[in-house]
Structure 1
Amino acid sequence: MTRERADRADLLRTMPLMAEELLDATDHEIIALLREDARRTFSDIAVRVSLSTAAVKRRVDRLREKGVITGFTVQVDHAKLGWGIEAFAQLRFFGSTNVAEIVETTTRIPEAQAVFTIAGDPDAVVWLRSRDMAHLQSTIDELRRSHRITSTRTLIVLDSWVRGEDRPE
């Protein structure tokens, strides 16, 4: 393969594609089955979508190569692991704090599950998990001790729903 052709292949592989160019109904069905059970075998999926096992494997490989499927994961009941309190903390930072400083400030605590820097006010939202309310309070206090954070607002999750996940009975 010539260098020019290899460069074009790399560009096409990383170029975002329109959804209709990349995914058909069968791809969506395969993704739904894998979201339901990431350990599902290609042969089981093949039966459900009326394709051969090899065809399912090729489709999953293509979806992974294009970055549609980014990994396979397990769903965990965090409450059963002792982390039953979930909250979101809205954070306002001093002056023109850059994104790297926001991420560094928030991810140093193990209770931070994700950090979202956002446009407007506040500057960031942090998804937190804690053992109990006292633990959540100490986590918020720890964030407040940062000289970069000027104010916080905590939103405690009462219940949640996530698209593609079954709700426990």
Structure 2
Amino acid sequence: MDAIDQAIIRYVLHDARATYAQIGKASGLSAPAAKRRLDRLVATGAIRGFTALVDPQALAWHTEAFVEVYCAGNPAPAELRQALEAIPEVVEACTVSGAADAVVHILARDIPHLEQAIQRMRATPPVERTESAIVLSRLLNRPRV
């Protein structure tokens, strides 16, 4: 990956809906050259996909929790990811060191909705049990690079 690829990635992180002309201008390439580079970055897996970041307030999802996930056996991260992808309230999930196998960030409308999402997670193999911490207030939320 060279400096041009890095510039393309930075721009797409800033605006995933940017045109090839905009990406090219930001990285010093023509629009067709930017498209070829972007296609290569997707094909090699350097860019795994494009997504929309939705403001939870727009969905009226005001309740959030961080949930420690404990699994039966020793599932591969890909298996756990597949199980968690089916739960739309899961907005982020990471495997972690320590007793828990993963930590999951969940957004929900309210406590009953949160409880339903956690129950669905618990009913999904390979999840064996969970421990939850409900967010009371957000102290810091920095955008990621």
Distance 1:124 1:48, change over 3 A: closer
TM-score norm. by structure 2 comes to: 0.71
TM-score norm. by structure 1 comes to: 0.63
Superposed CA offset, 1:62-95 (max 9, x none): 11111111112222112211112222112345xx
Unaligned runs of 5+ in 2: none
2:38 is equivalent to residue 60 of structure 1:
yes
Unaligned runs of 5+ in 1: 1-22, 165-169
If you compute each CA radius of gyration, which structure gives the higher value, 1 or 2? Answer: 1
RMSD: 3.1
CA distance in 2, matches of 1:144, 1:45: 39
Aligned position for 1:163: 144
What secondary structure, in the 3-state scheme, does the structure 2 residue paired with 1:99 have? coil
Structure 1 segment 126-137 matched on structure 2, within 5 A: 126-137=104-115
Matched to 2:47, the amino acid is: I
Q: Quick check: 119-128 or 25-34, which moved more? A: 119-128
Aligned length: 137
CA distance in 2, matches of 1:68, 1:78: 28
Distance 1:122 1:68, change over 3 A: same
2:99 is equivalent to residue 99 of structure 1:
no
Displacement, 1:152?
A: 1.6
Aligned position for 1:17: none
Which one has the bigger helix percentage? 1
Aligned position for 1:148: 128
Aligned position for 1:31: 9
What secondary structure, in the 3-state scheme, does the structure 1 residue paired with 2:131 have? strand
Displacement, 1:115?
A: 4.1
Identity %: 36
What secondary structure, in the 3-state scheme, does the structure 1 residue paired with 2:103 have? strand
